[in-house]
């Protein structure tokens, strides 16, 4: 059939076809080991209830209980609100700083990019501890001085009414530099000809920012917004660290509740149930994110009318680049 010199074309094709599979293995191993495996194990656990030292199969009972778990779902709404407020702050400041850096008036851009980005490099736990001290009226005399406006009572920024916004502040402090960096990278890739044309038409810098820059990076903005919203579901570090200096209920965020359910209450199976629910919610949100931001061309290239893709205006290709940035980040 085959000689030593002539390998059948079909075999070659099969070998070549195996190469991508081989390249996938490192990812697949890690994915299965640290994501799929734990997920399936948690799914398995969620069908049981542990009573004393024995496990009883209860089917979907844990999920019925979870549906009625008012506080768990309230924590979802809480982190959603947290996400919205944090995203707005990060968006406004991140966009503002990146536009300033991108404007022709900016000096020592590299230095300021680094300075603005630095807070993101501080680990979340350290940042939370640091802010915890900064919020203390005894340690931070600025906060201490605020008591003058509060009838002489110490201002407690970590009381239940303002706690969420104290955490939003921490997140915004860390996240603004990050979004700014993404926006700035996106801004630098806008063709300079557009600005020149605008200036010839008599546009001011503010008009250029509003009419050209922001619309051009719209899909980047959308991506950071959606990613931040999804990320806010995972809120854990800040409230966990703040528990040491103020009263944060254990079910303040979904992740805090899941952690607590397993390691304080010792209810591992119900904790697994809640984890599955959080994972499914995050998965749905991520799917929607992909739907909104993924390249429309990819889908249409399979469609019969190929010309449509070629005919697309170049500005639409903006959609592809930000995702690259997102992956790199």
Partner 1 sequence: MLSNTRGLGDIPISERARFLASSRKRRPGVRARRVAVAAAALLAAALVLAPAAAFAAPSSSSGGYPPNTFPATAPSTTITWWTFTANAKSQVAAFNKVYPNIHVDTPLVGSDYTKLTTVVKGGSGGPDVAEIEYEYLPKFIATGGILDISKYVDKYKNLFYPWTWTQVSQGSAVYGVPQDVGPTALTYQPAVFAKDGLTVPKTWAEFAADARVIHDKNPKQYITYVPLNDGAWWTMLYWQAGAVMFKNTSQGWQVDLNSSVVKKVTDYWAGLIKDGLVDPTQDWTPSWENSVGQGTYAAMAGATWTPDYMVHPFSNAATANAWRMTDFPQWSTGDPVGANVGGASNVVLKQSKHPAAAALFAAWIDGSQQGVTTRITSVDKGGQGMTAAASNSDLLPAFSAPSSALGGQDPSPVISKAAASVNPNYQWSPWSDYVFNEMTIEFTKAANGNETWNQALDNLQHNVSVFGASMGYTMAPAPSGQSSGSAESAPSPALWVVIGLAVLAIAAFIYRRRLTAES
Question: Which residues form the interface with partner 1 (CB under 8 A)?
Answer: 49-53, 56, 62, 65-71, 73-74, 76-77, 80, 129, 133, 136-139, 153-154, 156, 158-160, 243-247, 249-251, 263-267, 270, 281, 284-285, 288, 291-292, 296, 300, 308, 312-313, 316
Contact 293, 219 (CB under 8 A): yes
Contact 93, 172 (CB under 8 A): yes
Residue written as token pair 């969420």: 164
Contact 242, 132 (CB under 8 A): yes
DSSP 158-174: TSTTTHHHHHHHHHHHH
Distance of alpha carbon 115 from alpha carbon 118, whole angstroms: 5
Pick between residue 214 and residue 245 the one whose CB is nearest to partner 1. Answer: 245
Shortest distance in whole angstroms from residue 179 CB to partner 1: 21
Pick between residue 12 and residue 306 the one whose CB is nearest to partner 1. Answer: 306
Pick between residue 169 and residue 251 the one whose CB is nearest to partner 1. Answer: 251
Pick between residue 96 and residue 300 the one whose CB is nearest to partner 1. Answer: 300
Q: Alpha carbon of 187 to those of 103, 131, 132, 180, 329: distances in Å?
A: 10, 32, 35, 10, 16
Distance of alpha carbon 190 from alpha carbon 210, whole angstroms: 14
Pick between residue 177 and residue 239 the one whose CB is nearest to partner 1. Answer: 239
* Residue 176, CA atoms < 13 Å, CB-side half-sphere: 21
Shortest distance in whole angstroms from residue 129 CB to partner 1: 8
Task: Name the residue among 154, 119, 151 with its Cα closest to residue 246.
Answer: 154
Shortest distance in whole angstroms from residue 215 CB to partner 1: 14
| Token pair belonging to 198 | 């605008």
H-type alpha helices, 103-159: 109-121, 124-134, 141-145
Shortest distance in whole angstroms from residue 5 CB to partner 1: 51
Contact 254, 278 (CB under 8 A): yes
Shortest distance in whole angstroms from residue 136 CB to partner 1: 6
Shortest distance in whole angstroms from residue 92 CB to partner 1: 22
Rg, the chain, Cα only: 26
Pick between residue 92 and residue 284 the one whose CB is nearest to partner 1. Answer: 284
Shortest distance in whole angstroms from residue 100 CB to partner 1: 30
Pick between residue 103 and residue 218 the one whose CB is nearest to partner 1. Answer: 218
């Amino acid at each position: 059939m085959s000689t030593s010199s002539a390998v059948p074309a079909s075999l070659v094709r099969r070998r070549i076809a195996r190469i991508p599979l081989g390249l996938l293995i490192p990812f697949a191993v890690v994915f299965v080991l640290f994501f799929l495996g734990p997920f399936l194990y948690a799914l398995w656990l969620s069908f049981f209830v542990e009573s004393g030292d024995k496990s009883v199969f209860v089917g979907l009972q844990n999920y019925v209980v979870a549906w009625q778990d008012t506080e768990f779902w309230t924590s979802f709404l809480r982190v959603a609100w947290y996400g919205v407020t944090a995203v707005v702050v990060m968006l406004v400041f991140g966009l503002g700083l990146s536009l300033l850096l991108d404007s022709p008036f900016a000096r020592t851009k590299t230095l300021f990019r680094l300075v603005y980005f630095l807070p993101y490099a501080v680990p979340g736990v350290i940042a939370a501890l640091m802010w915890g001290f900064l919020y203390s009226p005894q340690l931070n005399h600025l906060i201490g001085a605020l008591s003058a406006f509060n009838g002489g009572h110490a201002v407690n920024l970590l009381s239940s009414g303002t706690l969420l916004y104290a955490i939003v502040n921490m997140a915004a402090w860390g996240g603004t530099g990050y979004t700014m960096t993404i926006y700035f990278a996106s801004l630098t890739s806008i063709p300079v000809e557009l600005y020149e044309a605008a200036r010839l038409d008599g546009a001011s810098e503010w008009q250029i920012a509003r009419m050209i820059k922001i619309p051009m990076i719209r899909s980047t903005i959308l991506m950071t917004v959606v990613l931040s919203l999804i990320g806010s579901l995972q809120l854990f570090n800040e409230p966990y660290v703040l528990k040491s200096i103020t009263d944060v209920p254990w079910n303040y965020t979904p992740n805090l509740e899941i952690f607590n359910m397993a390691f304080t209450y010792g209810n591992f199976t119900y904790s697994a149930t809640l984890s599955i629910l959080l994972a499914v919610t995050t998965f749905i949100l991520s799917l929607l994110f992909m739907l909104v931001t993924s390249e429309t061309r990819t889908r249409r290239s399979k469609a019969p009318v190929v010309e449509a893709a070629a005919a697309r205006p170049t500005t639409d290709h903006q959609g592809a680049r930000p995702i690259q940035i997102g992956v790199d980040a």
